[in-house]
């Protein structure tokens, strides 16, 4: 019986790698078709071959590097401080009334930097992971774990896209768009030549038609169609995620605004365009285009407009909708140094706030998000 259970468990894991295998095979074929069939066999000029090969390998290296980091970088999981102790967990599971369970969670969450809640104003708690969810954290049913700043589960990388690998995912989309665009632009000339041979003399002796009708023709024609198709689809996905970065939202938050003590606020984590970009790509611009870890923060706490506001402006009873865990100054003191830089005054907050500036995207892009519903 044990071998059967192991086989049933390993089979879905193996199948989950099929989309990644498909991408790798397509990229491997595109490498062969471009380097060998186009550059070395079809392009007659040595100078043009050299330029195409150098530029292609640069795009290819950055594309594969960012793709590799997106696949094998864990998106980030909540720290143990957000998990219930054994005594609290036993007490929580022993209680039958939701009100009593919420009181237990409130007691534990009082020491945690949590500013969001469920739609009903309750503490966001994961029954499977047995922890209080940090802000912007969600449970992924595919990975069966809570993910920090979860964006979505992507089958093409067989991984969740979250706090630790979101920059790599953005760069993966950017370099894949650049990779496809470069192939499409450089193949277009020979694509046209293959389809418009000289009709005045036989193709094999016509000086205007230097491209022999061999197997290279199939690779060049098919390479153009595949690169153009992927370029169009990836460009729309990259544009959408770039819009999310500018407005400091995840895919989940774009479709369901995060709930604060004062109600839902789709721009609750937006600190202005410059600071939003800095949160994802870091404060050193020389590393923005490299798939290395430079994102600011720890994934558990994020600067919010609630934190930046004057504590005296907050409601007298924060528990009226969603409990506030402490005043703003104590929370700001608990932030890391990188987050304190985000909360600085180097960029005017009021001038860059994006209230009402975001276009409606609910119907323009569809992403399947695998996560547990929150009551």
The catalytic residue positions are 154
Give the sign of the dihedral formed by CA 22, CA 70, CA 255, CA 143.
Answer: positive
Number of H helices, E strands in the chain: 13, 8
Quick one: how far is CA 71 from the chain centroid? 11
Nearest-CA neighbor of 156 among 27, 290, 288?
A: 27
Classify 323 as helix, strand or coil.
coil
- For residue 235, what are its two tokens? 């460009």
Backbone angles phi, psi at 29, to 5 degrees: -65, -40
- Specify whether the CB–CB gap between 194 and 217 falls below 8 A: yes
Place of tokens 């969740």: 160
| CA 76 – CA 258 distance, rounded (Å) | 19
Nearest-CA neighbor of 320 among 253, 260, 258?
A: 260
- Specify whether the CB–CB gap between 83 and 338 falls below 8 A: no
CA distances from 19 to 113, 254, 315, 351, 373 (A): 38, 26, 49, 43, 26
- For residue 279, what are its two tokens? 């949160």
E strand map for 145-234: 145-147, 152-154, 159-161
End-to-end CA distance of the chain: 37
- For residue 127, what are its two tokens? 């029954």
On the 0-12 / 13-18 / 19+ scale of CB atoms within 10 A, 85 is: exposed
């Amino acid at each position: 019986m044990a071998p059967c259970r192991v086989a049933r468990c390993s089979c879905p894991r193996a199948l989950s790698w099929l989309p990644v295998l498909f991408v790798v095979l397509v990229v491997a074929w595109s490498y062969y078709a471009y380097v060998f069939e186009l550059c070395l066999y079809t392009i007659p000029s040595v100078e043009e071959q050299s330029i195409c090969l150098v530029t292609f390998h640069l795009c290819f290296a950055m594309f594969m590097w960012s793709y590799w980091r997106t696949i094998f970088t864990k998106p980030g999981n909540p720290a143990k401080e957000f998990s219930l102790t054994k005594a609290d967990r036993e007490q929580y599971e022993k209680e039958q009334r939701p009100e009593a369970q919420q009181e237990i969670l409130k007691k534990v969450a009082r020491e945690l930097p949590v500013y969001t809640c469920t739609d009903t104003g309750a503490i966001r708690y994961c029954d499977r992971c047995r922890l209080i969810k940090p802000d912007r954290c969600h449970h992924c049913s595919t990975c069966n774990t809570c993910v920090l700043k979860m964006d979505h589960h992507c089958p093409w990388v067989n991984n969740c896209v979250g706090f630790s690998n979101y920059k790599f995912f953005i760069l993966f989309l950017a370099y894949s768009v650049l990779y496809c665009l470069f192939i499409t632009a450089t193949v277009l000339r020979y694509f046209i030549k293959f389809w418009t041979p000289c009709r005045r003399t036989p193709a094999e002796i016509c000086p205007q038609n230097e491209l022999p009708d061999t197997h290279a023709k199939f690779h060049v024609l098919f390479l153009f169609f595949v690169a153009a198709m992927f370029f169009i689809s990836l460009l729309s996905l990259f544009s959408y995620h770039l819009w999310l970065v500018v407005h400091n939202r995840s895919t989940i938050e774009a479709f369901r605004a995060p709930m604060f003590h004062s109600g839902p606020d789709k721009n609750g984590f937006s600190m202005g365009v410059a600071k939003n970009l800095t949160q994802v790509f870091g404060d050193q611009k020389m590393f923005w285009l490299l798939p290395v870890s430079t994102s600011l923060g720890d994934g558990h706490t994020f600067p919010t407009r609630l934190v930046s506001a004057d504590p005296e402006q907050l409601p007298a009873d924060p528990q009226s909708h969603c409990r506030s865990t402490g005043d703003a100054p104590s929370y700001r003191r608990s932030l890391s140094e990188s987050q304190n830089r985000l909360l600085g005054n180097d960029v005017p907050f009021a001038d860059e706030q994006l209230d009402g500036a975001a276009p409606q995207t609910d119907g323009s892009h569809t992403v399947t998000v695998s996560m547990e519903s929150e009551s």
